């Protein structure tokens, strides 16, 4: 698909690409120059204070917890004391 460079160095992404890539207004795009190519990739920008949540280790623990919940490997407690008793046993 061909698009035209406009004033202030702007381009419009064709509607088909926006739809296929599920892009929305305000999404961040990384623009990379590779030899004679311009590569545009959508990126998710994460607030620095939240990066711990997106680490591989934390995401592995989240996946494990989701599996435990899915398979009923959870217990409920009515109080902190009851919870500690269950954890100790």
Query: Any idea how long the chain is?
Result: 89
Q: What integer pLDDT is reported at residue 1 of this predicted model? A: 86
Q: Are 13 and 1 in contact (CB under 8 A)?
A: no
pLDDT tens for residues 10-20? 999 999 999 99
Domain regions of the chain by residue span: 7-43, 48-88
Show contacts of 10-15: CB within 8 Å, 24+ apart: 13/40
Strand ranges in 21-77 using DSSP code E only, listed in sequence order: 28-34, 37-43
Tell me the CATH number for domain 7-43.
2.10.260
pTM for this one? 0.54
């Amino acid at each position: 698909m061909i698009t035209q460079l406009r004033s202030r160095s702007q381009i419009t992404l064709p509607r088909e690409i926006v739809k296929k890539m599920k892009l929305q207004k305000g999404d961040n795009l990384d623009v990379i120059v590779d030899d004679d190519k311009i590569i545009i990739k959508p990126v998710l920008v994460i607030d620095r204070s939240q990066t711990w949540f997106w680490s591989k280790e934390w995401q592995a623990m989240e996946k494990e917890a989701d599996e435990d919940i899915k398979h009923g490997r959870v217990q409920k407690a009515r109080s902190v004391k009851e919870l500690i008793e269950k954890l100790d046993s």
